Structure 1
């Protein structure tokens, strides 16, 4: 578990955003988290950056979006995470994360979160053809075994528009609430 947050300081939520058609809606999760008294910083996969309005996200959070490792000696642009929400979590990120692959900043943070005891939730967003691959179910099982809570969203039909309207951003906070003593 992370260190207790000072009474006058809000807990800090990292939102890891992956390259997905619904990623542009991340402001919904940021707003919900801020309304629930979280400070929020966004970490995007390198490809995920192209799916969000970076200026709008940075204005909303007050923090720069992280996507690449910082150089030695550079200041840390985000406070340490008290919790992490991976939303949307793609097929690629889920499988790499479960395999311990740390080839991006986002994956490095996720791989370290387990060893640091940071409460983490993932909201998968992928199509049913990807979800049918045996590696995906194995990866979800491994992540669950690591204590990661997985959202309830169902994979959408391939090439059918993605069912973005059914993606429940707020589920990340619902799942994290009991883990960090912030149930609604």
Structure 2
């Protein structure tokens, strides 16, 4: 049996600072992990990028590749977009693909790659009318969005803790998505 490939696509929310632990957990669960980051998340993790590449065994990507460049990752079996910021959820739902993470996720819908997303947003941002619409748009497109009961529960602004982000729920859902694909 081949090792399933998980594309872990992180954005600039505080839980991304714990991404090495998440990769280790995914490896323990039998995944081959490829890490993609938004440009800001890559900047936040700049000092750790070499270690993260060593940990995954693949280049960390944060930019679109050139059309003449080969894809350096194996094909994805499942993609997990987490933590997914307010900006990422809205850009993805609206099809605004200015960075690699959203570009891959948007295209993956059309390719039929199982997609799981778990937002990391505060209670003030989720009150913006576009957020709920974006979550519904992604769900209608077949994306499993782990938001609300059984997923990520927004906190008041400034009160969230990266340690409290439910990565275990996200990884479990990715495994379920693999089994049902």
TM-score (norm 2): 0.91
Shift in Å, 1:120: 0.8
Q: Greater shift after overlay, 48-57 or 38-47?
A: 48-57
Deviations 1:65-87 (A, max 9, x none): 11112223222111111100111
* Unpaired stretches in structure 1, ≥5 consecutive residues: 1-6
Quick check: 1:181 aligned with 2:179?
yes
Aligned to 2:154: 155
Shift in Å, 1:166: 1.5
SS at match of 2:105: helix
Q: Greater shift after overlay, 87-96 or 165-174?
A: 165-174
Quick check: 1:128 aligned with 2:128?
no
Quick check: 1:68 aligned with 2:66?
no
Quick check: 1:88 aligned with 2:83?
yes
Deviations 1:155-184 (A, max 9, x none): 111123x222210112122112222118xx
Aligned to 1:20: 13
Question: How many angstroms apart in 2 are the aligned matches of 1:154 and 1:33?
Answer: 22
Deviations 1:115-139 (A, max 9, x none): 1111111111111111110100111
Deviations 1:24-75 (A, max 9, x none): 1112221121111110011111111122221221111011111112223222
Aligned to 1:38: 31
Q: Is the 8 A contact 1:14 1:41 kept in 2?
A: yes
Question: How many angstroms apart in 2 are the aligned matches of 1:159 and 1:16?
Answer: 23
2:109 to 101, 111, 114: 114
Question: How many angstroms apart in 1 are the aligned matches of 2:139 and 2:154?
Answer: 18
SS at match of 1:63: coil
Q: Is the 8 A contact 1:19 1:90 kept in 2?
A: yes
Question: How many angstroms apart in 1 are the aligned matches of 2:31 and 2:169?
Answer: 15
Runs (4 or more) in structure 1 with deviation over 6 Å come to: none
SS at match of 2:8: strand
More helix by share: 2
* Unpaired stretches in structure 2, ≥5 consecutive residues: none
